[in-house]
Chains A and B, each alone.
Chain A
Amino acid sequence: MPRKVAVVGTGQTVCVMRREDASFPGMIYEAVNRALKDAELTLADIDAIVFGSSPEYFEGVNHPEKWCGEASGGFLKPQFRIHTGGTVGSSTGIAGYYHVASGLFDVVLAVTGDKLSEGPVQLCLSTVYDPIFGRDFACGAPSAVAIQSRRYMHKYGITEVQAAKVAVKNRKNACNNPYAQLKFPDITVEMVLNSPVISSPLRMLDVCPASDGACAMIFACEEKAKKITKTPAWVKGVSAVAEGVNYVNRDWAEPIALIKAAKTAYSQAGITDPRKEIDVAEIYEAFTYQELIWSEGLGFCGPGEGGKLIDEGVTEMTGELPINPSGGVLSTNTIGATAMMRQVEAALQVMGKAREVYEGKEYNRQVEGAKIALAHGWGGAIQFHNVMILSSNPD
């Protein structure tokens, strides 16, 4: 049986299109320091470091865990790098959890980030495609997700308007998150539908931005967690599931890896009715349609009911199950830190800390009374899915 583990501190940098005031290691250092400060710990309290970032092509520096080793607090400590494409952020969090749950380490810091402004992101993403069958046709991430989205629309009669509503909801939510990049308080469905087509059916406003930013979180065993904070976010379920490589042999509109990941995490956490029992979810919607597809995979509604979910306002801040109060990936996407930000934001919700004063301004994205939160990560061309369930209650 794994040990009980909690998130006891988190730190995010502000995410912007280009951080000119900090290098990549500088951003990592910033996130680590914020997490340590949040938990009121020092590096002396940290037993091991797990570092995660995206393909090296993004920053053009190979072996980035070497580059960022000291910045991540790893001097003379056990250090590992994790990489699983878009899921790298949540995989790094899960690896941090595994370190503590195993009983081998008591307090572990996990940190992730990327500085996407340093290189040509979509060109680099195109190198993720199969060199023989995919590369000649690749157009960054959008072309594959466009094919997924079109299939999903066709299979269930999902509309552009329903997808646009996701863009509106999340970009408005982002206004309540001091770390988010895109904040559109006045965005409308019409604006989304009038934005230029990138790769049909995806329009400019259906697509996430590219961000510079970093994120860190600290995991602790039960005994330490209770001493470190009055509000630990207990890890109640964790799963990481992968399926096959690009393109072949899949129903684009049915995320089988996510369905399995969700079932596994729910079973660990004792969740039988996810829509009722989960108070808030942070999911990896790099593209509008994906929030609907992933909601189905997570069992928040039945297959094909993702459109209805957004139409009925279920996932709004005022709804039964708010999704992405942070503004989600549609508002901020560093890739490297993105899926960890889902875990951090979910942890903040059950800690009751999703409201704060940042640089003199008040931001509130707290779902009142949130006790159970879900964090999801997606990566590798519809291939990898991670789910983590966090709770305010250790038992």
Chain B
Amino acid sequence: MEPLVKEGNITVPYQWTTGPAVGKFLTELRDNKKIMGLRCPKCKRLFVPPLELFCGRCFVEMKDWVEVSEEGKVISYTVVNLPLPEPCQPPLPPPYALAAIRLEGADTEIIHLLGEVEFEKIKIGMPVKAVWKEKREGSILDIEHFKPRG
């Protein structure tokens, strides 16, 4: 028997509420080119980016906003070669470099692109610095990428 297939396509629009912690984080990126973190009053970890107004481990509210440096170091990285279909297209065509970056003072990592670097020269521990977009919209992509710090 010939296998029959029913074709389909789902296009679904969403509007994701950032919540107040992420909202403030993104607003500071956009308006002031500042990277802000929230510190847990109990475990003292500094969350950058802060995902919510609470520390998930201690389960207490966080109110203590702290500005962190736009400089940090690469904790780990990958060079991605796999292209993805729309709509999940990354901001760059493959190959591109992604890194887990720990900003100075932060206790968590931020995932972002590495730019202005030869892929072969990327190393764990490499110091990097944020490169800001001119036109910022309140998105993690207001930082265009991180580049090696000389």
Where the two chains meet, the residues of A that have a C-beta atom closer than 8 Å to any C-beta of B are 20-21, 60, 120, 122-123, 126-127, 130-140, 142-143, 146-148, 150-151, 154, 196-202, 244-245, 247-249, 252
Contact = CB atoms under 8 A, between A and B. Distances in A.
A36 to B, nearest CB: 26
Given A136-B91, A137-B111, A140-B84, A150 B47 contact: no
B78 A150 contact: yes
23 contacts: A123-B88, A126-B84, A131-B16, A132-B16, A132-B139, A133-B22, A133-B110, A134-B111, A136-B90, A136-B139, A136-B140, A137-B90, A142-B82, A143-B78, A150-B76, A150-B77, A151-B75, A199-B81, A200-B78, A201-B78, A244-B56, A244-B57, A247-B111
Contacts of A122: 82, 84
A3 B61 CA distance: 40
Contact of A139 (B82, B99, B140): B82
Contacts of B79: 197, 199-200
Nearest to A202: B78
Interface of B: 3, 8, 10, 14, 16, 18, 22, 26, 45, 47, 49, 51, 56-57, 75-82, 84-85, 88, 90-91, 94, 98-100, 107-113, 124, 139-141
A188 B94 CA distance: 28
B78 A147 contact: yes
Given A132-B16, A137-B113, A151 B10 contact: no
B40 to A, nearest CB: 10
B61 to A, nearest CB: 17
A198 B82 contact: yes
A199 B111 contact: no
Given A147-B76, A151-B75, A245 B98 contact: no
- Give me the 7 closest cross-chain CB pairs, A-B, nearest first: A146-B78, A20-B3, A248-B108, A151-B76, A126-B88, A200-B79, A131-B16
Contacts of B49: 133, 248
B81 A136 contact: no
A143 B97 CA distance: 10
A131 to B, nearest CB: 4
Contacts of A198: 80-82
Judged by DSSP, the binding face of A is loop
A37 to B, nearest CB: 25
A140 B56 contact: no
Most chain-A Cβ atoms within 10 A of its Cβ — which of B26, B78, B109, B112?
Answer: B78
Contacts of A154: 76, 124
B78 A199 contact: yes
Chain B interface SS verdict (over half) = loop
Nearest to B87: A123
B88 A127 contact: yes
Contacts of B94: 139
Given A130-B51, A249-B108, A147 B88 contact: no
B105 to A, nearest CB: 14
Contacts of A139: 80, 82, 84, 90, 94, 98
B107 to A, nearest CB: 7
Given A122-B82, A151-B76, A135 B88 contact: yes
A138 B100 CA distance: 13
Given A197-B81, A199-B82, A132 B88 contact: no
Given A20-B3, A247-B109, A136 B141 contact: yes
